[in-house]
Every structure is written in structure tokens, then in C-alpha cells.
Structure 1
């Protein structure tokens, strides 16, 4: 019984001694290692330039001591997110970021854990000068729009604005296309849909817009009958006119507001000519359209 107790105490002593030795060893450890990190631009567009690559690798020397020397894995492929203000033009086709800006971010993020030393004073981003172009916005998936029975368009679908200024490298904006996708919708009356603008990405960017409005209006189409009387050779004749158009255009309106009548006289007849005065109104029929004269 006594020998077993002594054996357990010995094993516990060995374990504690090993732990103490390990902690003392780690506490004295100094580690320095070269690593690759990545400088990341906030966008492919910086000021008036387009970055050919928005993520640039750079070499950095990392040092740590004690327990922190075991934490190098958290720095593997670490990305430093830059701000637009960090960039400056070096020469034609190149933008640069001072390594001191990168070090400042790293020291803030890992204060007391790691120390850093960048091998090169600047990180260089290849770039092109931004080109600008206005591109028309197309409306796609029009078949998703349904009209109620008897309705027609009085204002065709259009985008507002109908074209957008974009910026990017010349070869990208030369083949850029912008469009909106119409959702399934029953278009009764006037509506405005605020829809995402497609075709904008990290290669082609919009100066002002990420969405555009699609607007349009429909109305119930109706027919209305009017009667107009004219006198020919001292005899009254009734002319029947059938007109079609949006219901709101044919409500509380007189025939004279919709149609201008003129007559063309000849020795044998009088021909009735008409001119529609309002948009979206159509003349279906006029009977009779000529009147025989009395001999």
C-alpha cells in the first residue's frame, strides 16, 4: 500500500517537473520567421485608376517570444485591408502603398503578440488610368410583366436613368453591358420598381448608381360612341363616331376635345375628314364618312 502511494507521488512529481520545464523552455523561446502576407485594396478602382490586381503579396519578417511563438499559424496568408487614402501614384501604370502604413495596421492588430519588419519600403500595385463611358440600361425578362384584362400601355416601360456612366479599364468598359431583371408583376396603372443594376462588378463600376427605377403606366382600354350632326344642303345628317382609348382620357370629355372635323366639298358629295387631337386615342369608325349632295 505504502509503495503504491510512493509510486503515484513520484509520477506526479515527474509530471509537474515536465510541465514546469516546458513552461520555462517556452518562456525563453525566441522565434523569427519570414512570411507572405497580402495587401488588399478596398476596390479595383482607386481614385482615377483601375488596379489590374487588387491583392498583392508581400514578404514580412515576424518575431515573437514565449507562448506567442506558438501562434504563428494565425498569420498564415494574413490579409491587410488598405484604404484608398493609403495609395499614391508612383509613375505611369503603378500605384504604391508605403510599408509603414501596413506595419501600423499590423502593430495595432497584434500589439504585444508579434513584432514585424517589412523587407521592402513600398508595395506596388500595377494599374491603368480609368476610362469612363455612358452605357444604356437594358430591360430584361419583360415576359414577367402581366397586364390585367383589357389594359394596354399608355407609358411604355423605361429606365430612369436610361443610361449610366461607368468607369474601368478600356478593354472592360468597351464590352460592358448594363441591365435590370424584371420580377413577376401585374402592372395595373402607374408603377415604379427600384431594381438592382446588373453588369457592375470589380472590373466595371458605376459612378453613382447601384439601382435604377423602371417606370411605366397602363390603363383600361374602352370604346365610346359619339354622335355629331352636320347640315348639308339644309338637311340634318347624323354622323356616328366610335373612338377607343384609355378610360381616363374618355371620361368627362367632349367630341370636339378629341377629334377635329373638316369637310371637303365637291359638286356631288361632302367628304368628312378627321384628325385625332389626343395621344393614345384611336378612331375606330365614322359612319357615314361622306354625304351625297342633293341634285
Structure 2
């Protein structure tokens, strides 16, 4: 950096790298995608250098089970650039994925129709839920019901 270079500060996003280093236990999926907190940082330095600079945090090899937050250092920048913070928290939630069958009966005239619905999702959402909590069913022209052909 030269004394004559103008310095500036700008808010830039933190970019996550190393997603392939994260392993989920068998039967788990992401219910809250990985994100950083803060998700932006202030970058200070010569304007010309800042325009070609991205701020990264690299995730190490880790087994992500449940709600987790890990504090990680930001990747090093070229000389003459400074950041408002040195580390960020990487936050995310994985949950066991389950399926649950719901049976709904609807009486129309003298006939009772039975509708079976399968929901798949995070255990915390599905476990104590009733059908009414997860969706809204609407029946129209039920007497003209036809099978859809694929």
C-alpha cells in the first residue's frame, strides 16, 4: 500500500466454502441451511484492491448433527486489506427426516371418501402435527373425480 492510495470501507458478503467437508449423519437432512453470522463484514483498504476481493470462510471437516454453531476464522486477505472482524459463526440445523401418514375421511352425500396423504419432513415439524397444521385440503367437484393419467 502506498501513502497516496485512497482508502475506503465497504460492506461485503461472507462467502462459505467447503460445503463438501460437512457430513450429515445417516437419515438426517438440512432443516436450516448453513449460514454465517454476521453475513457481511466491513472491508477496508485501497479501492482498487477491494474491487477484486471476496471474503471467504472455509468449513473444516465436520459431522453436523442437530443445531450447531462453530466459530471460524475468515480466510486471509492480501496485505493492506483489513476486516471489521476476524471470525464468524457458521450456523445450521440438521434433523432426522421422517414420514407420516394421515388419513382424512370426507362424507359427501351417502358416500364416504378416504384420502391418504404422506408427509415427509423434519421430525420436529412432523412428530406432533395434525393434518390441519401441515396443509389445507379443498374438495371441489368430488362427484366428478377422475384418476390422473401419467
Pairwise same-fold verdict (TM > 0.5): yes
Name the counterpart of 2:100: 224
Contact persistence 1:152–1:221 (CA under 8 A): yes
Question: Which residues of 2 match residues 135-174 of structure 1 at below 5 A?
Answer: 135-174=12-51
Question: In 2, distance between residues paired with 1:256 and 1:250?
Answer: 12
* CA positional deviation for 1:232: 2.0
Matched positions, count:
148
Question: Aligned pair 1:187/2:64, yes or no?
Answer: yes
Taking only aligned residues, the RMSD between alpha carbons, in angstroms, comes to 1.9
Question: Aligned pair 1:198/2:79, yes or no?
Answer: no
TM-score by length of 1: 0.47
Question: In 2, distance between residues paired with 1:259 and 1:132?
Answer: 47
| Structure 2: 5+ residue stretches without partners | none
* CA positional deviation for 1:263: 0.8
Runs of 4+ that moved beyond 4 A: none
* CA positional deviation for 1:131: 1.1
* CA positional deviation for 1:165: 1.0
| Structure 1: 5+ residue stretches without partners | 1-50, 53-125, 272-287, 290-295
Instruction: Name the SS for the 1:261 alignment partner.
Output: coil
Higher normalized contact order (CA 8 Å, seq sep 6+, divided by chain length): 2
* CA positional deviation for 1:128: 2.6
CA displacement 1:188-230 (0-9 Å, x = unmatched): 1111111001143531101x20001111111100000111110
Question: In 1, distance between residues paired with 2:68 and 2:76?
Answer: 24
TM-score by length of 2: 0.90
Contact persistence 1:130–1:167 (CA under 8 A): yes
